[in-house]
Amino acid sequence: MRPRNSSQVHFVSEHSSSSLLHAAADADEWVEKQVRINRIQIEQDSGKSLHMLDATHVDLNRAGTGLMEIVFEPDLRSAAEAGQVLREVQHLLRHIGTCDGNMEDGSMRCDLNVSVRPKAAEEHPFGERVEVKNMNSIRHLMRAVEFEMERQVRHIEATGLPIEKETRTFDAATGMTRRMRSKEGAKDYRFFPEPDLPPLVISATFVDDAKASLPELPDQMKARLSRDYGLSAYESAILVHTPHAVAYFEEVATGRPHRLASNWVLNELFSLLKATNTDIRESPVSPSRLGEMLDLIVEETISGKIAKELIQHMYYEDTTGRPVDIVERNGWKLITDDETLCAYCRNVVTNPVRVSHSLEFICWRVLGLSGIE
């Protein structure tokens, strides 16, 4: 069967036109941004022309490949927001198993539309939009947004002329966009019905069944973590966006102080994983071992300072031993009984030379801090 050399589009809009995507407005702080989804449509990829100096080649490698296009409303205001939305889409598609989201492999692609208008003039209509193609990473997307915004502003300020509606491509080597062609209007696409495909009517029952079959979605997971464990929106987002981290955290937190568990997972453990570029599933410190270590802190068997040394030992040296055995072997157990502590104190004060030196040191420090010295 010969591959198609034309694009086939199946418009699906009824169930997606009022949908919202929630994303962070900033990569370092979870400030929620709502982005409206205009529509989702199913397409069949076409062949493409490759123009050389002396010839034009036709590449049919992707012809006939099915794809899904998600079209957003113009709700984004910066390169950072665009990058975060693309990360959220990528994470969502991976989470539900739609695709692996690997942009470098072509599994997921992104086209960009940029327009500018006077600053602080929300009521002012947007200018003519420019489409930018050829971005295969989130970093490239953000660079393209920044360059294109600056280019359009410079053009308007220098010439006083409006932006031309056009399609441009992004050059990753220079970080610049360059013109490909004038942008077509909707009627220029020359859509016509596919005679072999009748309209597909999707019932509300089918949609409800599909929703019921979905796993817990990222937004739902974030809300549950905040509600059940008292995590901040930012902490919940970090766990949800780290593959397999939610299951790890919940195993550690079950039956233990939630704040203690989140601090040790998000701070100490994540620092070790990042330093060694290790997936949390491969962590030498399993959820059960970390949980046992936290039990020792709660029971005041070890201090927080000793616990930091202990988790390092568990991660790099003794990767299988029980925390309680490691503590016992290294003499890290806190001494809390009064009799033993009093014996230590008596031993110290019976040495008059050491006591005298200590008192002298304390006096000089106090004088120095008070400014009398």
Four-residue CA torsion sign, 288, 290, 296, 298: negative
Same domain, yes or no: 138 and 262: no
Domain boundary among 212, 237, 269: 212
Quote the pLDDT of residue 370. 45
Q: Are residues 306 and 177 in the same domain?
A: no
Same domain, 129 and 264: no
Count the helix, strand and coil residues of the chain and give each as a percent rounded to the nearest 5.
45, 20, 35
Q: What is the pLDDT of residue 128?
A: 86
Tokens of 132: 């930018």
Pairwise CA distance, residues 343 & 348, whole Å: 9
pLDDT at 371: 44
Does 340 map to a domain? no
What predicted TM-score, i.e. pTM, was given to this entire model? 0.73
Q: Kindly state whether residues 238 and 130 are assigned to the same domain.
A: no
Q: Which domain holds residue 278?
A: 216-330
Is 148 found in the same domain as 72?
yes
Domain check: are 162 and 23 in the same one?
yes
**250 lies in some domain:** yes
pLDDT value of position 139: 95
Residues 176 and 269 both lie in one domain? no
Of 212, 233, 264, the residue that ends a domain is 212
Residue 338 lies in a domain: no
Terminal Cα-to-Cα distance of the chain (whole angstroms)? 95
- Does the residue 339 lie in any domain? no
Q: Are residues 321 and 241 in the same domain?
A: yes
Question: CA distances (Å), 272 to each of 267, 278, 282, in order?
Answer: 9, 8, 12
DSSP 107-153: SS-EEEEE----TT-TTSPP---EEEEEE-SHHHHHHHHHHHHHHHH
* Per-residue model confidence (pLDDT) at position 339: 76
Task: Tell me if 183 is assigned to some domain.
Answer: yes
Predicted confidence at residue 320, as pLDDT, reads 94
Residue 275 lies in a domain: yes
In a domain, 151, yes or no: yes
* pLDDT attached to residue 302: 93
Average pLDDT of adjacent 10-residue blocks, the chain of 373 residues = 59 55 58 83 79 85 84 91 92 90 89 87 74 91 96 92 91 93 66 75 90 91 96 94 95 97 98 97 97 96 94 96 95 80 68 66 57 44
Residue 199 and residue 65 in one domain: yes
- Amino acid 201: pLDDT: 83
Domain total in the chain: 3
Which pair of tokens denotes residue 304? 């927080």
- Asked whether residue 198 falls in the same domain as residue 238, the answer is no
Tell me, yes or no, whether 271 and 363 share the same domain. no
For tokens 């040790």, name the residue.
264
Residue at 337 is within a domain: no
pLDDT of res. 373 = 46
Pair (312, 359) in one structural domain? no
